[in-house]
Structure 1
């Protein structure tokens, strides 16, 4: 695939897709992420957040990952990536942490195709396109800052703001940062995520499921929607099948100076 934008909008921008159809239980289950990719995403999230913590970089989970914390207490079964944000002043620190990620077997790529972000992905996994340093699944790191005029927390890159125009935060919604549970992984969350979900996904974010087509599910060509009251079992998160490894604590402190 030459363009990963279709992957990135799966949970962000349902307005881009055609009108969704009401999905059956079997159709919904057919969109679920494979267990091996679920395992990779959880390990990637644990490793990445622990690296950022050791480096003193403030982060929060955002978008579909934040929705997973609140609505599912873990990975949304049909989600296919993990999304976090760091502040602009910490971006140089992130760049300097590439050797730490490399030591754990990860690529860190600055992706300028469409929405601009950093991608963390596992070496040895299938490449998404002709860029060897972007494999599936991946974790996205977005960069944000406080706009001095509006006092809103926004994406720092203008192209990212254009792709996700409804994704901004009021300071009193964002702060103070608090802890949340993502399938057993402790993560940083914005203070009032429910406000942002209503803005990003609509007022029915907690009662309706929306699943955009995925590039790795060729039979899923139209968006699906369903009510959780009809299929409450889909509120259960996708969870790793094996214990996560404790790897960051074993890294030499030299990586974090």
Structure 2
């Protein structure tokens, strides 16, 4: 049996149909991903998403160690993303946020590389893929991410192009970021931007009204509530607490 012959016009129309169908499928998938579910949780329902006390201890200890190592070498940093939101809104680690994020300027990156061994000396391992990942040496979790930033035009934003494309609303104007100031973060102090509110407004819509349950890193959380915004009540603003006192490990 002879195979059907298609004219150039028919082949072109077929290709255009496939491209168009693929485009609308892409829009459908992304529209589905962008739909948020709004909910009101009881305290008991919300506590299902809290991290384990031992994870809170590890994260606070990691933040304390990182702050002290960077301060020891006069490397300025600022808390970022959910860590910044926790410092502003909870005065500590958000109960359902299970990593740490900080930034340093591009001009300090070489000095950071020179002192990474000090993290290893006190039991951490370091991975790097345009972000520096600090984590306990025997596990992949919890984690502290160090982002590199630079001045681009009149903004301070992520140095890596992929990060800027992924987070286009993440940037500081000079007067928002500097001079850096100290924040209470549970039992410790951390360094953050001078005026965090404009960044939070750009980066986290309704951050002062809703808690976001999304993209959890840790295992063992209840399923089925990704992309959920939960109405904030004062009981949800209590920071996570470590299960025991933090140690002085940096010499």
- TM-score w.r.t. length of structure 1: 0.80
Distance 2:83 2:124 in 1: 20
**Cα deviation, residue 17, structure 1:** 4.8
Judge conservation of contact 1:213–1:220 (CA < 8 Å) in 2.
no
SS of corresponding position for 1:140: strand
Q: Deviations for 1:103-162, whole angstroms, at most 9, x for unmatched residues?
A: 100011102xxxx3110000123xxxxxxxxx1010000000111xx2100101101111
Aligned residue in 1 for 2:102: 84
**Cα deviation, residue 214, structure 1:** 2.1
**Cα deviation, residue 213, structure 1:** 4.1
Q: Deviations for 1:197-232, whole angstroms, at most 9, x for unmatched residues?
A: 111012x2112111114251453233322222xx32
Distance 1:140 1:92 in 2: 16
Structure 2 counterpart of 1:234, from 232, 236, 241: 236
Which consecutive residues of structure 1, in runs of 5 or more, have no partner in the other structure?
Answer: 1-14, 126-134, 251-257
Q: What is the aligned length?
A: 217
Structure 1 counterpart of 2:146, from 136, 141, 150: 141
Which consecutive residues of structure 2, in runs of 5 or more, have no partner in the other structure?
Answer: 1-31
Judge conservation of contact 2:131–2:146 (CA < 8 Å) in 1.
yes
Give the direction of change, closer, same or farther, for the CA distance of 1:238–1:17 in structure 2 (3 Å limit).
farther
Distance 1:17 1:65 in 2: 23
Structure 2 counterpart of 1:197, from 182, 196, 200: 200
Give the direction of change, closer, same or farther, for the CA distance of 1:104–1:16 in structure 2 (3 Å limit).
farther
The runs of at least 4 consecutive aligned structure 1 residues that moved more than 6 Å come to none
Judge conservation of contact 1:179–1:188 (CA < 8 Å) in 2.
yes
Aligned residue in 2 for 1:6: none
Q: Deviations for 1:174-203, whole angstroms, at most 9, x for unmatched residues?
A: 11111111112111110110111111012x
Aligned residue in 1 for 2:137: 123
Aligned residue in 1 for 2:119: 101
Distance 2:215 2:83 in 1: 18
SS of corresponding position for 2:36: coil
Judge conservation of contact 1:41–1:81 (CA < 8 Å) in 2.
yes
Give the direction of change, closer, same or farther, for the CA distance of 1:181–1:224 in structure 2 (3 Å limit).
same
**Cα deviation, residue 18, structure 1:** 3.8
- TM-score w.r.t. length of structure 2: 0.82
Report the aligned-residue RMSD.
Answer: 1.6
Judge conservation of contact 2:97–2:216 (CA < 8 Å) in 1.
no
Aligned residue in 1 for 2:172: 169
Structure 2 counterpart of 1:225, from 223, 229, 240: 229
**Cα deviation, residue 168, structure 1:** 0.6
Give the direction of change, closer, same or farther, for the CA distance of 1:96–1:185 in structure 2 (3 Å limit).
same
Judge conservation of contact 1:84–1:140 (CA < 8 Å) in 2.
yes
**Cα deviation, residue 19, structure 1:** 2.0
